[in-house]
């Protein structure tokens, strides 16, 4: 089926530019008998569901768990979550496509989110992002993205490397950052947010 022609930069709703196959039956809640779910994923999802008065609240933790296992929210991952949570894959896909941290396409397993929002960009984040992207190159292990404000403007410009906040970063830190990720070492230990003291001079220890 051909794509629906859209004006350049038309709707930005994710998935809106992909035409649905209207001939296909909508997917139903997967049958547990024919949907194998890895035991650890099943137990992670079930534990998450137990934490809430309404088990459906566990969609985000469940999709996170599935993404960790599969690398992204693949149709297979969505199917498995849907099977355990007794929801339709379409419902879960609608949730997965809403959130920035849930990937709806295959990505590298190491995420490097470079904050390029206002406070960071005032301190050179756009150049930093380009430098990180160039340094990671075509390496399929990396998922380098520019990200909206990560809430660490005190260490601007900064990045979140596999969930670890580092900053302030200059172009000179980029090779080390990439190297640390590749070697599986803690990323730029001296620049990690966890080591930073409060800026308020009277706060103290």
Partner 1 sequence: MSSKLLFDRIDEPGLSTLAVYERRGGYSALRKALAMAPEDVLSELEASGLRGRGGAGFQMGKKVSFLPKGSMEKYLVCNADESEPGTFKDRELMQKSPHMLLEGIVIGSYAAGANCSFIYIRGEYVLQADVLDAALAEARAAGYLGEDILGSGHSLSLTVHRGAGAYICGEETGLLDSLEGKRGNPRLKPPFPANQGLYQGPTLINNVETLCTVPTILRMGGSQYAKLGVETSTGTKIVSVSGQVRRPGNYEITLGTPSREIVYGLAGGPPEGREVKCWFPGGSSSPVLRADDLDLPYDFDSIAKAGSMLGSGAIIVVDDSTPILDVALKVAKFYRHESCGKCTPCREGTNWTVKMLERIDSGEATPMDLDIMASVQEHIIGNCLCVLGDAMAMPIGSMIAKFRPEFEAHIEAARARNGLGAAGALAGPAPALAQGAL
Residues that bind partner 1 (CB under 8 A): 9, 12-13, 51-54, 56-61, 63-64, 94-95, 98-102, 113, 117-119, 121-123, 147-154, 156, 160, 163-165, 193-194, 197-205
Question: 20 or 175: whose CB is closer to partner 1?
Answer: 20
User: How many whole angstroms separate alpha carbon 133 and alpha carbon 144?
Assistant: 6
Least distance (Å) from partner 1 to the CB of residue 138? 25
Work out how close the CB of 113 gets to partner 1 at its nearest, in angstroms, rounded to a whole number.
Answer: 7
Query: Least distance in Å: CB of 135 to partner 1?
Result: 22
Identity of the residue, 118 or 175, whose beta carbon is nearer to partner 1 in the bound complex: 118
Half-sphere exposure of 35 (CA within 13 A, CB side): 21
**Cβ neighbours, 10 Å, residue 106:** 12
Quote the least distance from Cβ 36 to partner 1, whole Å. 24
110-115 vs 164-166, strand pairing mode: unpaired
Distance of alpha carbon 140 from alpha carbon 180, whole angstroms? 16
Q: Which is nearer to partner 1, 2 or 153 (CB)?
A: 153
Q: Which is nearer to partner 1, 108 or 168 (CB)?
A: 168
Closer of 175 and 186 to partner 1 (Cβ): 186
- Residues 128, 168 contacting (CB under 8 angstroms): no
Q: Is-contact 18 2, C-beta < 8 A?
A: no
Q: Cβ contacts of residue 12 below 8 Å, gap of 6+?
A: none
Choose between 142 and 147: whose C-beta lies nearer to partner 1.
147
The Cα–Cα gap between 7 and 180 comes to 43
Phi-psi region of 184 (alpha: psi -120 to 50; beta: other; left: phi over 0): left
């Amino acid at each position: 089926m051909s794509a629906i022609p859209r004006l350049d930069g038309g709707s930005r709703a994710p998935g809106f530019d992909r035409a649905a196959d209207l001939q296909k039956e909508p997917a139903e809640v997967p049958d547990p008998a024919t949907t194998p779910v890895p035991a650890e994923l099943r137990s992670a999802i079930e534990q998450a569901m137990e934490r809430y008065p309404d088990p459906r609240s566990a969609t985000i933790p469940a999709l996170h768990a599935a993404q960790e296992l599969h690398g992204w929210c693949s149709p297979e991952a969505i199917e498995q979550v849907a099977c355990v949570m007794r929801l339709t894959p379409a419902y879960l896909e609608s949730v997965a496509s809403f959130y920035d941290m849930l990937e709806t396409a295959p990505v590298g397993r190491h995420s490097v989110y470079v904050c390029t929002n206002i406070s960071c960009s005032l301190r050179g984040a756009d150049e930093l992002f380009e430098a990180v992207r160039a340094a990671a190159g075509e390496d399929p292990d990396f998922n380098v993205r520019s990200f909206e404000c990560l809430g660490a403007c005190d260490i601007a410009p900064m990045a979140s490397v596999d969930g670890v906040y580092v900053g302030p970063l200059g172009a000179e830190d980029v090779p080390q950052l990439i190297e640390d990720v590749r070697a599986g070492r803690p990323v730029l230990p001296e620049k990690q947010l966890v080591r930073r003291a409060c800026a308020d001079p009277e706060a103290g220890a």
